[in-house]
Structure 1
């Protein structure tokens, strides 16, 4: 059975088929986008990125539940972080330099936008690095 026989052989049938195909393609394209319509980046490190060193801070509790730049809600109990340029979904090893403690986080937000800071960690990640008391710690980021 052909599409023509289902829709009828009238002259508007090819236009109708084309319209249905366009709508189907549009629906598939929108399904690949984030909540706000932007394409969601997937985890792959930029070529040549081998890590960086600087200060880490962590989110204040008031940000729990607020939307991140990736569109998901910030969860202070998840191992997530904000970075200025690494793609969303990238997993990064964070090592605190003065005590050697490590954790692996997934990038899901943008920031921090404070000079000298290179990553903003969730509360859980900051706990794993034992930095809640200080608020800021010197860290090294490396590919996971």
Structure 2
């Protein structure tokens, strides 16, 4: 038991250093930066990018995955569908459509610290 407790304490310590709460460290939630975009081109899935839909780009999640995104600054959430690849900027985990960014209050800033979890 002592070894297991030590491992848990180490994980909690690492999570704290990274700015994550212990809950986010263990609950399958990933945190990082997000930005938004509104292009008229096709996405990596072949769809035309539509800034009015609740979609996002992620580097590796399967197309069609549903993801709950939470803005860490204000607690607002949105559920998006992954339909594109990216972002390709260090420290960012998602690129959101303009509509999704508006829902969580990050249009003005352009970027936000978010946490996301796969749902469904």
TM-score scaled by structure 2?
A: 0.75
Counterpart-to-counterpart distance in 2, 1:53 and 1:136: 13
- Per-residue CA deviation, residues 76-111 of structure 1 (Å, 9 max, x unaligned), is 000000000000000000000110000000000000
Which of residues 45, 59, 73 is equivalent to 2:48? 73
Give matches, 1:6-45, under 5 Å.
Answer: none
Query: 1:127 and 2:99 equivalent?
Result: no
RMSD between superposed Cα atoms in Å: 1.2
Match of 2:30 in 1: 52
Higher RCO structure (Cα 8 Å, ≥6 apart)? 2
Question: Could you say which structure has the larger radius of gyration?
Answer: 1
Distance apart, 1:51 and its partner CA: 2.7
Match of 2:89 in 1: 114
TM-score scaled by structure 1?
A: 0.63
How many aligned residue pairs are there?
Answer: 93
- Per-residue CA deviation, residues 54-74 of structure 1 (Å, 9 max, x unaligned), is 001000x3x13x110000100
Higher strand share: 2
Match of 1:98 in 2: 73
Moved over 2 A (4+): none
- Per-residue CA deviation, residues 16-75 of structure 1 (Å, 9 max, x unaligned), is xxxxxxxxxxxxxxxxxxxxxxxxxxxxxxxxx92310001000x3x13x1100001000
| Structure 2 stretches lacking a partner, 5+ long | 1-26
Distance apart, 1:115 and its partner CA: 0.1
SS for the counterpart of 1:127 is helix
